[in-house]
Amino acid sequence: MHELTPIFVTGIIFLTVYKVFDLFVRRKERMALIEKINPETTGNIDLTKLGGILNPPSDNRFSALKWGCLAVGLGVGMLIGFFIYVNCPMAQQEWGLREMMYGALVLIGGGLGLLSAFIIEMKVRKPKD
């Protein structure tokens, strides 16, 4: 676990810097929208609809599909890793090879799970011709 500490620290730093820049960019966008709304030119605009422009609602219809496919992909990756470990004597002897194999297969399985969720979501959202 001590080998992963610099990776986690670096990731947290980059995420924090990204979120700070994102906060300032969104603030500038909101300020520009507010400046465009002039009381003389707006007339009878419903200002409650402006909340949807500033904070668009997120589509969480497919979140269960994404999480489910991710979990299935991770499980399949771990299961394949287990079968390789049981049937490959070289993987049983080398500790580093076993760790690397499990990590790679879990990440590949998770990525394939998310990719399959994306494909299913695109097929469901596809407009009917």
What is the pTM assigned to this prediction?
Answer: 0.49
Model confidence over 25-55: pLDDT tens digits?
888 787 777 777 766 555 555 555 555 555 5
- How much is the pLDDT for 57? 57
Q: What is residue 27's three-state secondary structure?
A: helix
For residues 64 and 52, state if they share a domain. Answer: no
87, pLDDT greater than 60: yes
pLDDT attached to residue 69: 86
22 shares its domain with 83 = no
Q: Is residue 46 domain-shared with residue 71, that is, in the same domain?
A: no
Domain that holds residue 78: 58-129
Number of domains observed in the structure of the chain: 2
Residue 81 has a pLDDT of: 83
**Concatenated DSSP letters for 45-87?**
--GGGHHHHHSPPP--TTHHHHHHHHHHHHHHHHHHHHHHHHH
Does one domain contain both 129 and 69?
A: yes
